[in-house]
Amino acid sequence: MRKPATGQAASTVPEPDSGALARWNHATGPALQLAEATAARSAAQALLQAARATPDAHAADLLLTLHRLLALRLLAPSTGDLLAAGHLRPDHLEHLHTAREQAVAHLASHATALIDAFMIPEDVLTRHPIALPDWDLFLDRIPAALTSGTA
């Protein structure tokens, strides 16, 4: 680690080894985390903006529920750190799980409408039988697809 300048705190991030490849390897993890966080924030903002912009109360409710579900799923990997730091209490974790399950239950009955709203191309839907009205006819193909890696 590098010595801090006078009046600065010591850095907890180790100094990367010299050389371009070592510097690259040291920087890729944080760069990927930043890209993931930026994409997640953009998705969350888009859902909120769409909910605020729609005049249809039912559509706004679904979009807000999608936003809530996204936020809860993004929060989930950090709950241990937040708990350890005292930002969450153990009972909060149960509430997060309940809120996630409620959001999924609310959205489940609207799955077809949501698929239509996201304008998923028809060729994608036909390659994924669960999106078809008669999806249950494909259940016998599932074990073979899991073992062979193809559907």
| pLDDT at residue 1 tops 50 | no
The values of phi and psi at residue 131, to 5°, are -85, -5
| pLDDT at residue 136 tops 90 | no
Query: Model confidence over 90-121: pLDDT tens digits?
Result: 999 889 999 999 999 999 989 888 878 888 88
Q: Check residue 151 and give its pLDDT.
A: 46
Please, what sign has the CA dihedral across residues 47, 111, 104, 134? Answer: negative
All structural domains of the chain with their residue ranges:
36-119, 121-151
CA dist., res. 104 & res. 88, Å (int): 23
| pLDDT at residue 58 tops 90 | yes
